[in-house]
Each structure stands twice: as structure tokens, then as C-alpha cells.
Structure 1
Amino acid sequence: MTATEVLAEAGRRRTFAVISHPDAGKSTLTEALALHAAAITSAGAVHGKGDRRGVTSDWMDMEQARGISITSAALRIDYSGRVLNLLDTPGHADFSEDTYRVLSAVDAAIMLLDSAKGLEAQTLKLFDVCRARKVPVITFVNKWDRPGREPLELLDEIEQRIGLRPTPVNWPVGIAGDFRGVVELGTGGEGREYVKYHRTPGGATKAEEERMDAEAAAKTEGGAWDQALEEIELLGEIGAQYDEESFLAGESSPVLFGAALPNFGVGELLGTLVDLAPSPGPKADEKGGERPVEAPFSGQVFKMQAGMDKAHRDRMAFVRVSSGRFERGMVLTHAATGRPFATKYTQQVFGSERTTVETAYPGDVIALVNAAALSVGDTLYEGPKVVFPPIPSFAPEHFAVARAKDAGRYKQFQRGIAQLDAEGVVQVLSSDVRGEQAPVLAAVGPLQFEVVQHRMAEEFKAPIELANLDYTLARRTTAEDGERLHALSGCEVLRRRSDGELLVLVHNKWRLRVIEREHPGLVMEPLLAGGVDTGE
């Protein structure tokens, strides 16, 4: 295939993540997008009702039981001549490290805001990461069919709190909780066509849309229409029109209003994504150069996952294609080892369903099966060597010692801990003092420990017991300073298995400040994630 053909295929791709604060409706929106793109025929709520199934992207038992997304999911959707690679992300802050890894594999993000809650803590953090990684953001104000805040108030909050200029491409008719429809503004802010929504039973199918001109809308909606027009005029006066340059630079965000559960405004969100989100571009390499899209194949592992197929217990590496054309069966080079890596078993994943991949292009996400040799952040390539920068680990805040309940299943214990570490489910720390039989698990949130216990018992048949440690901070240190720090009270030095880096665990920020004051020369560097300092 020629470079021109690769560029053309890359131009058809839109690879994006759905991110937000917990309970804002990410998984519900994921299904609604798939429904509108005709990828599925019936959407199910997070908690299935009646004979409706669970969320397509939530395939893990714990996800279906709890009604939250624990692990990110990759869904490919063909829509309007484009290929949409949708990466759903965990729905709980305890699993935000997985979200950060996903953001390394996308070209744009859809950020959900709850119409009643606006910007929340997790939303603010994710905006910071998107800004640091220069990921353009499209904002979808969700749940407008429920009581909420004034639309202008929400726009003002976005601009004042995070410095992102909101540029609405539609505007709601009817206050939050009395959602009639939207005025389509387009990217020039000049439109006045009204789209009125009609519910379908349970929101399981596409909402019915009735389009009408301004005169018909005024007769139908009365005062609600007049109020919407007044607010739109105000938007024009303050210059809130879409600007492509500022959007791609991460300085402004197109804003849409809707409701994912009844499928209101989802079709317009899809259209906005196709029209405005960028297609894949050159990817920066470790040396500061760039790998052009049309160069020979290259890709980076951004996620490892095992247990998706209970019948086979295989391990899958999710790879974002960065350049070139992928063909099943091609032999790639594993940059970390220099060894060849065969791609005989390559799949695409739609929730828990799999299909074999024959070809893929920049922006696509492929799943390599039985990829035991790969880890998160690894580069695979063909042709001229390239190594992409590693994906940073997140700063853990919870720590626990893991021990096997049954000493007779120690081999299964070792294998399970090693696999969960490679997948990034938790970070695994060790030291000569504690020994291999008592690794320290480091997590962003305590729910990660529940996932570890569940998978160790169900998947590896090696139940574990956890003993929490009284540490809340982790810092990077050196071998020389690690010995001095280990001798101080209130801290402990361990080695991260995944990369051999030394971390010093500290009881709390007050103890950290005392150590820094009394031992100013010791190295204790904050851990970074995607350019965002996660330290105190």
C-alpha cells in the first residue's frame, strides 16, 4: 500500500475517549453512540431493566454487578464513511490510572458534565491531563432531561475554573428537567433550525426527532423558544463561536447539550465528532523526533488485559496503531528486547465480542492475543527503529501487603501477582526485607484492591489476604539516598517491579515535610502522570 493510501485511511479515523466524573453517564453514552451509529440495535442502561442487557462495554463480572466501569474498553464503530475508535474509560476515580493510559492512545476526548453538578473533582483532573497532552476536548452536557443548572452558568463555570473557552454548537430549548429539544447552531453560530425530541420506550432505541423552522418552533414551544433565542443572541455578543485553531490547540471546547439515556442529542454529538475531531497525526518518539503517519508500521501498547475470554484465559495487549498499515501475520520488532513478535492472532474487541483483524491503520486499536512478552508502554515497529516515550505511572496513595491464603498455591500466587502487575491493575513493589512472598500492592484507590482479590481468587485460584500499610504518599528516589531514607522513621523504600525504579513510601505529607526540612539533600521526586504533577 502506498503512503497516499495510508494517509487516506488515517484521515477516515477518529480515535477518542469518553471521560468524566463518576456517575456522569459515560457507559450509557458509549452505548448511545454505538446505537446511533447502528453498531447495536438496542441500548441497555448501566443497571439492566427487564429483559434489557447490561452495558456493551462493561464485560467484567464486577462491572456488571456494581454498575460501574472498572476497566477501559475499546469499541470500533463504522459511521458515515468514518471509522470511530471509541475508548470507554473506568467510571470510578479509583481506576483513574487506566483512564490516564487511555488518554495516551486518543486524538480527542468527549468530556461529560452532569447538568446538575457541572465540573467535579475528577472532571477537573482529567481536563488538566487533556491539556497537558494537548488532547482536544468536546464537551457534552448530559442529563438535561433532569433538573439542573442554567446553561449560561455552566458555560461560565467551564471558562472561569479551567480556562477553556466554551463554544456551543447547539443550545437547549427548555430548562434542565424540561428538555424540549435543541437549536442547531453549527460551527458558525448562525443556525436556527429546531430539533424537537420524542422519547422511545425506555430509551432502548433512537429518540425520534422532529425538525422545524423558527416560525413553527415559536408556535410549538412558546416562551421556552423565546428564552433560547435570547440566550443565543447573548452568545453571539460575547463571541462564543466555534474556532478550529483554538479547539485543536486545547484552548476552546465545542459544547453540546443532550441526554444520553433517552438518546437526546447523541446523533448530533456523533456528527460533531466526525466533523471536528482531528484524525491521527505524527507521533513523537523518545528522541524528540516524529514518526510520520505514512511511515512503516509502528504502535504502542497502552493497555494489557487478561480474563476477557474465560474459556481460554488468554492475555491481550491493546495497541494503538501510530503509523503504516498493519496486516495480520506480519512479524514486528519488540523495541524493548529487539526480538521479533509474530501477530498471527490479532483481534478487535467490541465489548466482550471479538472479531479477527486482517488489516488496521493509524488510529485503530488492535488486540494482540497471548502477548505475554509485552507490557504497557512497549513499542512495536516494522522498518526503521522507533521507540515511543513510556506511559508514566500514576502516583499511588494506598498500599497493602499481599499474602497467599494457601501456601500450597504459591506458584499460582506468584503468577497472578506478576500478571496483574504487567496489566497495570496495581503497581507491585518489593524489597529484600519483605521478600517475594509478601509483595506490597500500590493503588490509586482502594477499589483496585477489591479487583485484585476478586481476580486472584476467581481467575488464578489463589485467594489472598491484604494487610493495609499506613502510607499515603510515594516519591521517586535513588539507590544512594534510598538507604538513608529507609533508616528514617515514617517511611520505607521499595522497588517497583515493572521498571526497577526505587520509591520511598511516606506516612503522610506532614512527615514528608519534616524529612525534607531535616534532610534537604535527599532525592524525593514527585511522580508524574501525563505531565500532571500528582504529588502534594
Structure 2
Amino acid sequence: MFYSITTKSCQLSNLAVRSAKRLKTFWDVRRSYATPTRFVTPAQHYELNKIRNIGISAHIDSGKTTVTERILYYTGRISEMHEVKGKDNVGATMDSMELERQRGITIQSAATYTVWKDYNINIIDTPGHVDFTVEVERALRVLDGAVLVLCSVGGVQSQTMTVNRQMKRYGVPCVAFINKLDRLAANPLRVAGQLKAKLGHNAALLHLPIGLESDFAGLVDVVEKRAIYFDGDFGETIRYGEVPKDMVEQTEEYHQRLVEHVSNVDETLGEIFLEERKPTVDELKAAIRRATLKREFTPVFLGSALKNKGVQPLLDGVIDYMPNPSEINNYAYDDDQEQVEEDGEERKKLLMSPERSGKHPFCGLAFKLEAGKFGQLTYVRVYQGMLKKGENIYNTRTGRKVKVSRLARMHANQMEDVNEVYAGDICALFGVDCASGDSFVTKKDLKISMESIFVPDPVISMSIKPKDPLDIEKFSKAVARFTKEDPTFTLYYDTDNKETIANGMGELHLEIYSQRMEREYGCPVVMGKPKVSFRESIVSPCEFDYLHKKQSGGSGQFGRVIGVLEPLPPHENTRVQFVDETVGTNIPKQFVSHIEKGFRKACEKGWLCGQKISGVRFRLQDGQSHIVDSNEISFILAAEGAMRQTFEDGAWHVLEPIMSVEVTAPSEFQGTVMGQLNRRKGLIVGTDENEGWFVVAAEVPLNNMFGFSSELRSLTQGKGEFAMEYSRYTPAPQDTQQELMTIHQESLGQGQQQQAKKKKN
């Protein structure tokens, strides 16, 4: 708003003129900051074929967030591009958290939506670090397709394999984007070969690079046999031209390879190939799409997001080859089948209808939670029907009714209100109290639930407490929020050591949450020495016959259990199983569930070193009951006693988590790094060397990996990097087992002394 400055004499002094100019300049500057981006919020498309739900996934530092930033710029969603590291004090749009901009990594998955060539594209940018793998899990659970980003130098790395397994778990079709072709030692052909060899993809290049490293100038489209150049200051102008003469033969060769790869998995193109007829561009694209949707083929695109090359063809590929919501079958379980479950049959699956109308009842899945200062923000994928602002929805798990007071679509950390959402949309509800994985419907009598999200078990523990004891209230609020948002971050109180223990997926995971507590809640915390989640297991089968008997006037307690406790196979040693093999009425069936309850309760803490018991099967074969004295508590205590009996009579050992570790560093440091891994009792399982860099894969006990990050940096002059993920549990060495037993005995002794002091006082 501008104000005119007038005087009675209609003459302004020089001072007044300068003041007026300054005032106008001030408002011009303010207005320039408030100028909206060139993106106009699009109307939602009602045609299902005009919608794409995709995720950007990759190994850490492969360029996921940079790719997303370029996508938002080229589609007009943002008016300026910023770098991930935040050197200009702005940072990438999708890294809205201050910690993300400082560290240059993605910590939380972020959702946005944009429009490209009249197609609505919902995008979720996911973290690359293994510590935040649950963010990738829940994103892939609700997405229809994914873009797998690979570094043209690093290639297929450890987290790439993890993401690939997650895509396979949820049946998500994907396209690959080999990024960073401008980097020194870039080799996209080698990376495409790794897609086939390491990940087992039937992959073929849809692009060829025109030059590499500093000479990278553009791409050759193998499908349409034309060159693509990216002109303008930010590569926003696409220019097509003829294929360079020195690449004509190579283009023909890779075009033929592409046809062969696709014809092997697509009948229609296979018939054309057998007829020795050249497919048209439309026929080839249609075949690639069909094969990609069936997860039988992976199209490979090339580019350099940082240098603004190759992103627009990738967007075209998302539209051409990624599925729309109607091409993916999504199912819900029928929860109104109590009798069926009692009979041992599987729950019925119901196919969700993706029609964008109010004809079918609404069904949505809450896949991500964010708690803010004004309440909980719940990300929901709509699978069926339509939801309007102001409607009532029901949580099928709790039966609780909630009114949708605010409905929004997300753009990173910004909410944009909408009045209604339809099947295939990803939206956010404000102020809805629920848990991650809950299903919502608008009809109360519709008892269905979507398949929930796989949550990996935490592998590392550290003691945690507020630095200032007066901050306990802030600490409690932070813990309540973070544990609700992230199911892999858990806390419990250790009664033996009298300390709070935080569990997570790695040192970085717990470090990030400790920093967030200080920044967001003003509660600095002290983290103790990391503790590894060891397990206890039995070595060989051990029989038990335990009688629990107690008489103290009136009805007493009586319960006898007979059976075998045996180890599970190595690939199942993180689970516990209960098997009822009883015949007859020696143990009434209503008490079997209580025997299982007692067994599982005993498995929460072992007697060898105080760790959880896993990898055991409790086979209940016989027992005895009393018509008066037998009750639920009798058989719970009998099962616990039977477990103690197997500990005294059987042979037990400790299991420790083994991590798959992948180290990348310059070749000159290979001997030093491998020596360091051997010193940490690591088993080298493979090495690879390429143009001055080497990659070594090893399996190392997690207990020996603490401090490796700083040690690797010092050994490799800051050039080395590593990633690790949980692999399996194996028996711990004898010295580790003895050390754990000693610590446990000492803690028990201290606990007994403290109890004795309390009794005296």
C-alpha cells in the first residue's frame, strides 16, 4: 500500500522528497519479497490417468533432494532453486528443517505436488541414510511408483539395495535415474550394469550421454533417436537436434538392445520383434510402460540435476511409464470376520475402487504423523471414495469418530487448504489423533483396514536424560512427540540400572533426536554410552516339566506344564514361537493362551545377561490342572518357571547383531581401511575398484562399529565414507559373552545392595 504525501503549499522540501522516495523503495522491497512464485495452485484433476504418485529414493548423497528441487523449478512450483547445503542461507525447498539444511542431509520425508504437462504429480522426497529407513518404508507403502536415483560414480551402494528390497516388498514399479554425470570418473554404463548384476533388474538405457564429466553437454534419446540439449541459464529451454555423427552407430546399437530387453518380457513387442519388424516410437513406449508396470523392466534415464540437465526428460518418463492410481490394485482386510479367524481361515481381502467420485465409501490410510505446536498433522493416502472438509471419519482400529476440520495438500512444510480429496490423492488432516498405520472410513459400519507399514526393529540403545533435572516436563513432551512420529525411536525405563534407555536405528538417528530436543523444546540432553541390543537364545533342545503349586488357605494355585524349548533356525533367530501340541483335557484350552502369555513375559528378560530372549520355540506337549486351584495366574507362573528351568538345565548363548558395512574411499587408503575392518573383527565379503576409488563390503559386529566414522575420516583425510545396515544375529564371541555376563552380575549385585539399604532405612 502506498501513501501520497501532500503539503498545503504543494511544495515538498528536499527532505520530504527523499523521505517519500525511501518510503516507496521500502514498500517496493517488501512487495518483492512477498511476490508469489510463478506457480499457480492447480485444480485437482478428476481423470485418474492424469495423476502420478511417486517417491524419490536412493543411497545417501546421490542427489535425491537436488532432483526434487529441479523438478519443482521446471514445473513452476518454485521460482528459485537453492542448494542442499544451504550456503545461501535458504537451502532446498524439501529440506525445511534447520538441521537438514545445516547437515545437508534429508532427515524426514517431505511431500509436495506439482503439475507437468497437465498431469498432477504427488512427490515424496525420502531420506537416504539407513538410520531413517522407516521414512522410506512408509513412503513406498502409499506410493504407486518410484524414481531410484543412482550416483554415476558410486553406482549401486548399500542403501540402494535396501531401497530396492523395500520396493520389492510393496510391489512398487520404478524407473532409474543415473545422476551426477558431470562428476569426475562418471561411468553410467557401469552403473547400468550394476543394476542388472547387483539388483537383478532387467534394465536398459533410454538415454546416452553426449560427453561426460566436464564435457557433459546433453543426451541422446535412444527411443526417438534424437539429441536433447538444455539451454538457458538454468537449463529450462529444451532444444532437440540430430544425433551427433560419432554417436549414430552407438545409438542404433542401444536402441536395438532396448527393443530386445523389452520384447523378452512383453508379448506384443515380442511378436513385432519375431516378425523382424521395427516397432514405431508409440509401440515401443507402450511396451516399456506395460513391462515397467509389471516390474519386469526398469527404464534407465541419465542426467545431472546439479548442472540442470536431464530432469525434464525424467519428468516425461514419469508420465509415460509410471502407473496412475487405477493401474495399481490396493486391498483392504475385512475386519468383520471374527468367526472366520477362529476357524483358522485368512481374512478376506477387498479390492479398493480408485474411482474419483463419491459413489464408493471413503477409505484412507494414515502413513505419517507430524506433531506441531498446534496439534498433530496426519498424512493420509486416499484409496477409495471422496472426503470433504467438515465430514466425520472413523478410525477403524479404535472406532473413534473425528470431524475433519481442516483438509490440506502439503508443499514441504507449507499447507494449502482444499475442500475435498479423492481416491489417488495424498492429503493432510489437521488435529486428528491417531497412530501411524491407522485406517479411516466415513461409514461407521464399514469395518476394514489397510495393510500396515513394516517397521524394522531398533538395533542400538543409549541412556538419555535431560541435562537439567528441572527440564523433565519438556523432555517428556519431546519424547511423547518423537516416539509417536517415529516408530523406530522408542524409550523405556531400565529398573535395574535406574536410567532411561533410547532405542534407535543408529548413532546418527539418536544424535538427531537429541539435537531436536534442544532446538525445538529447549531441553539439552545427555546421551550415555551406546548399548547394543544383544539377544539370548538356547543352543539345543531342552525338555521341561514344571509344577507351580501354592496353598495358603482357601483356593490356591496349581499349574503344570510339560514340553520342549528348542532353537529356531538361524534365519528366524529374532523371533519367538509358541506351539500348542496338547491333546486331551489335561490342560483346558482356556489356559493355553495364559501359558503363552507367561512364556512371552519370560522372554522379555533373560537370565544370562539380562537381554531379551529370541530364536526359541516353546512346544507345549502336556500338563496338569486342578479343578479348583487352577486359574490364569497359575499357568502364567508355571510357564515362567518352565523357562527358568530350561535356563538351569539347558545350554544358552548370546546373539549379537551383525551389520553389512560398505566403505568407499580413494584406492591409496585401501590397505589401511581393510586393516581397520579386520581389527574390528569384520569379515570382508567383496571389493570393487574403479578409477582411483575402491568399495569394500564387510560384515562387522555392531558392538565393534562405534567410533568408526571419525576413525575413517582421519584415516582417509576426510575423503572416505561408509554406510551400514542390519544384516542378522549370530552367536557372540566367548569374550563378549563373558563381559556381558559380568556386567549383568555386577548390576544385579548393586540392585540388591540398594534394596537392602532401603529396607534398613
Pick aligned residue for 2:309 from 264, 267, 278? 264
- 1:275-319 per-position Cα deviation (integer Å, ceiling 9, x unaligned): 211111342223333222233211111111134xxxx45321111
How far apart are the structure 1 equivalents of 2:604 and 2:371? 37
Match of 1:213 among 242, 249, 273: 242
Partner residue, 1:284: 331
**Structure with higher helix content:** 2
1:252 equivalent in structure 2: 297
Q: Does 1:298 align with 2:363?
A: yes
Aligned amino acid, residue 23 of structure 1: D
Residues 1:343 and 1:236: Cα distance change in structure 2 (over 3 Å): closer
Distance in 1 separating the partners of 2:86 and 2:111: 21
Alpha-carbon distance, 1:272 to partner: 0.9
Q: Is structure 2 residue 148 aligned with structure 1 residue 101?
A: no
Distance 2:495 2:430 in 1: 36
- The correspondence for 1:492, drawn from 602, 605, 611, is 611
Query: Following the alignment from structure 1 to structure 2, what is the Cα–Cα distance between the partners of residues 473 and 322?
Result: 40
Amino acid at match of 1:211: Y
Structure index of larger Rg: 2
The match for 1:355 is 416
Higher relative contact order (CA 8 A, sep 6+): 1
Alignment counterpart, residue 230 of structure 2, candidates 176, 187, 197:
197
Q: Which amino acid aligns with 1:413?
A: F
- Residue 507 of structure 1 is matched in structure 2 by none
Structure 2: how far apart are the matches of 1:208 and 1:325? Answer: 39
The Cα shift of 1:250 comes to: 1.8
| Equivalent runs, 1:263-412 vs 2, <5 Å | 263-280=308-325, 281-286=328-333, 287=347, 288-294=349-355, 295-307=360-372, 312-371=373-432, 373-383=433-443, 384-412=446-474
Q: Is this contact kept in 2: 1:399–1:471, CA < 8 A? A: yes
Distance in 2 between residues matched to 1:433 and 1:356, nearest whole Å? 47
Q: Which moved more, 1:20-29 or 1:172-181?
A: 172-181
Give 1:39 deviation, angstroms: 0.9
Could you say what secondary structure the match of 1:299 adopts? strand
Q: Tell me the distance in 2 between the aligned counterparts of 1:359 and 1:146.
A: 45
Contact 1:482 1:493 in 2 (8 A): no
Partner of 1:229: 251
TM-score (normalizing by structure 1):
0.82
Task: Measure the CA separation in 2 of the matches of 1:313 and 1:110.
Answer: 34
Cα deviation per residue 1:455-508 (whole Å; 9 max; x = unaligned)? Answer: 2223333332222343245745475144256233345249xxxxxxxxxxxxxx
CA contact (8 A) 1:396 1:473 kept: no
Distance 1:347 1:80 in 2: 23
Structure 1 equivalent of residue 630 of structure 2: none
Deviations 1:427-462 (A, max 9, x none): 324367369x84432211222212221222233333
Counterpart residue type for residue 464 of structure 2: A
**Structure 2 length normalisation: TM-score?**
0.59
Q: What number of residue pairs does the alignment pair up?
A: 483
The residue identity in structure 2 corresponding to 1:370 is G
Quick one: which amino acid aligns to residue 488 of structure 1?
W
Query: What SS does the aligned partner of 1:162 have?
Result: coil
Q: 1:73 aligns with which of 103, 110, 113?
A: 110
Aligned residue type for 1:197:
F
Match of 2:181 in 1: 144
Work out the percentage of aligned pairs sharing the same amino acid.
24
Once the 2 structures are TM-superposed, how far is the Cα of residue 234 of structure 1 from its aligned partner? Answer: 5.9
Shift of 1:198: 3.6
- Listed as ranges, the gaps of 5+ residues in structure 2 are 1-43, 264-286, 334-346, 536-573, 577-595, 614-646, 659-724, 730-761
Quote the residue 1:181 is aligned against. Answer: 218
Superposition RMSD in Å: 3.1
Q: Which amino acid aligns with 1:194?
A: A
1:463 aligns with 2:524: yes
- For 1:65, the aligned partner's letter is Q
Output the CA distance in 2 between the equivalents of 1:534 and 1:361. 40
Aligned equivalents of 2:726 and 2:507: distance in 1? 21
Paired with 2:606 and 2:534, the residues of 1 have a C-alpha distance of 17
Show the counterpart of 1:420: 482
In the alignment, the residues of structure 2 paired with residue 146 and residue 230 of structure 1 have an alpha-carbon distance, to the nearest angstrom, of 26
SS in structure 2 of the partner of residue 104 of structure 1? helix
